[in-house]
Structure 1
């Protein structure tokens, strides 16, 4: 059995599902107020001065603090059924199914939110490592459990969950610098669907 590690947004999808889910799950008022509060961060992100890790963290702190956890879980399941299938790249799904036919261990490793990504992964029988929103007494705090799952943290979580020495060949698929560290774990690396050394 080999190991196949797939980034999600941009690699397995055409879209940034994180921002799509924000629009799907937050009312217009929250989106408007949040957009005003985070305008400097959003502008900085577009200019390359603010990292994707920072913008994800800030968006969740503003958007989901005080949100009912069960309501968001329901939203996530609906999003996984209705929206995600329209976002997934055909070639990515074909590659995932090819790995399944080989009997490989397949893991989606993403900085996207578990509240929707877990549902989609479980429907395909895939493992998932991703951002988890913290709850307190059934209410979201706006923070991530154990921080943001990007960059080196992807590698840390993979190594914590899997014994990499057990896999004859490791495949990894990514599309941004967020995935570089994960790609370095692999024998066969694919960056934007092109095999690299």
Structure 2
């Protein structure tokens, strides 16, 4: 019987946060840094634990991408994947992912990042994707989440909507942060910041 294998994306498959990298790719370093200065009060409150993760994320997304048409954002995400994302990948993570696929395991990426840039990457690598969704109104990205941020317990809930771990030999989870710990607790094998 195959295994059910779950990878986090940012920091696990990639070396850094892709949402931040996408914003920098779009605005250039000076524009990105200026935006971070504007957002610094909310970022600081988040670090201090007095402003929630999903609200901080929405502030960031609204600032950098709010008002962008879905078509324009889709093109931006595809260009980012083609030009930058491959260079951000951890070679040991990709090797591990490919080994699981070759073994016949069911492989999913479960991430708090938006599906707009993670889903096309997952399709390219032949793995399933569970990701956060961005709200669209009148054909434009608002910057708000459409549904819950796929983080922590929400990762577990969303995984269980798509798969029943009991139908597999083992649930194997690869993660790198507290956002993955809920999945790690239910896993038969949890690899935290390593692949062996």
Matched position secondary structure for 2:68 = coil
Distance 2:195 2:117 in 1: 28
Partner of 1:113: 114
What is the TM-score when the length of structure 1 is the normalising length? 0.89
- Between the aligned partners of 2:70 and 2:107, the Cα distance in structure 1 is 28
Does structure 2 conserve the Cα–Cα contact (< 8 Å) formed by 1:57 and 1:148? no
Partner of 2:130: 129
Corresponding residue number in structure 1 for 2:40: 39
Contact 2:174/2:195 (<8 A) preserved: no
Task: Tell me, yes or no, if the aligned pair for 2:96 and 2:195 is still in contact at 8 Å.
Answer: no
Q: In the alignment, which residue of structure 2 is the partner of 1:88?
A: 89
The secondary structure found in structure 2 opposite 1:184 is helix
Report Cα offsets for 1:51-106 as digits up to 9, x if no partner.
Answer: 54332222113222211111010111111121111111011000000000111110
Distance 1:97 1:9, change over 3 A: same
C-alpha contact (below 8 Å) 1:4/1:170 kept by paired residues: yes
Aligned residues: 195
Q: CA RMSD in A?
A: 2.1
2: CA distance, partners of 1:81 / 1:194: 25
Moved over 6 A (4+): 27-30
In the alignment, is residue 163 of structure 1 matched against residue 157 of structure 2?
Answer: no
Contact 2:24 2:31 in 1 (8 A): no
The equivalent residue for 1:14 is 15
Structure 2, unaligned runs of 5 or more:
none
Secondary structure of the residue that 1:38 maps to in structure 2? helix
Q: Secondary structure at the match of 1:58?
A: helix
Q: Are 1:2 and 2:13 matched, yes or no?
A: no
Paired with 2:55 and 2:178, the residues of 1 have a C-alpha distance of 15
More off after superposition, 175-184 vs 47-56:
47-56
Aligned to 2:151: 150
Give the SS at the match of 2:66: coil
**Do the aligned residues in 2 keep the contact of 1:14 with 1:87 (CA within 8 Å)?**
yes
Q: TM-score, normalised by structure 2?
A: 0.90
Most deviating of 59-68 and 126-135: 59-68
